[in-house]
Chains A and B, each alone.
Chain A
């Protein structure tokens, strides 16, 4: 019987991480703002939320009674969704900061226009 080989904890962790992965992936697909690379965007979001849900399931299995399976599944889904949101916000903050930094460097390197009324002697 397969259930003898697949322990309860392993099955629950796999189930929770997959639910997180699905949740994060659906969230990435339904976002309104256009992304430059949809493949990388969707894969990153799904993987991050799956990992967040996996960690949440591992912590809950350690702390809670294993009979509370439905609570674990629900919390893992929420944590997966929130993990994707946090990653999204962090990525946006970092890219905005990089954009501002590059813009600042560009402005610093630009030659200043000559002052009006000057003579070219």
Chain B
């Protein structure tokens, strides 16, 4: 059994680590905006954004869990789960939620603002090639450019 003092040190370590992670993501988010680049740094903004949300949630959940019965949210440790919601499950769900949020945002960004992401550029290029091929009457065939190269 771990002593209470060690558990407090562990909790403060978790809080410090998650706060540092949150601030790092925050600075990187701000820095990419500051640079104003249209390529990879701007596309990484949503990673930092969802990273912030993840660290923030985990930090709040860990303190709430440490407060036990006096906490605003009734979260219990994994060993004491008996019908109530557990910390481990909640943290895992929160992580998956942030990950899925990041993925959905990337997809939406590529569709809505294709020029802002490298994936969007590739999509636009593929569409241009496809349109040119359709105009030449070569639907489903190798694009003209590649055939000439061959």
**A, B co-complexed:** yes
Report A's interface with B, CB cutoff 8 A: 1-6, 8, 11-12, 14-15, 18-19, 21-22, 25-26, 28-29, 34-35, 38-39, 41-43, 46, 69-70, 73
Interface of B is mostly: helix
A and B contact pairs by CB, cutoff 8 A, 23 listed: A1-B4, A1-B68, A2-B7, A2-B8, A2-B65, A2-B66, A3-B66, A6-B11, A6-B66, A11-B70, A15-B63, A18-B15, A18-B19, A18-B60, A22-B22, A22-B56, A26-B52, A29-B26, A34-B34, A39-B27, A42-B27, A43-B23, A46-B23
State the total of A-B contacts with C-beta under 8 angstroms. 87
B8 engages A5 (CB within 8 Å) = yes
A15 engages B64 (CB within 8 Å) = yes
What A residues does B59 contact at CB under 8 A? 18, 22
Give bound CA distance, A69 to B72, whole Å.
Answer: 6
Report B's interface with A, CB cutoff 8 A: 4-5, 7-8, 11, 15, 19, 22-23, 26-27, 29-31, 33-34, 52, 56, 59-60, 63-72, 77
What A residues does B23 contact at CB under 8 A? 25, 42-43, 46
B15 engages A14 (CB within 8 Å) = yes
A11 engages B34 (CB within 8 Å) = no
What B residues does A5 contact at CB under 8 A? 4-5, 7-8
What A residues does B72 contact at CB under 8 A? 15, 69-70, 73
Interface of A is mostly: helix
Give bound CA distance, A60 to B4, whole Å.
Answer: 27
Give bound CA distance, A29 to B67, whole Å.
Answer: 30
A14 engages B63 (CB within 8 Å) = yes
Known: A14-B15, A25-B22. A38 touches B68 (CB 8 A): no
Closest residue on chain A to residue B36 by CB atoms:
A34
Give bound CA distance, A89 to B89, whole Å.
Answer: 42
Q: Taking A3-B66, A5-B4, A8-B70 as given, write out 6 further A-B residue pairs in contact, using a Cβ cutoff of 8 Å, ordered by the A residue number.
A: A3-B67, A3-B71, A22-B56, A38-B27, A42-B26, A46-B23
B60 engages A8 (CB within 8 Å) = no
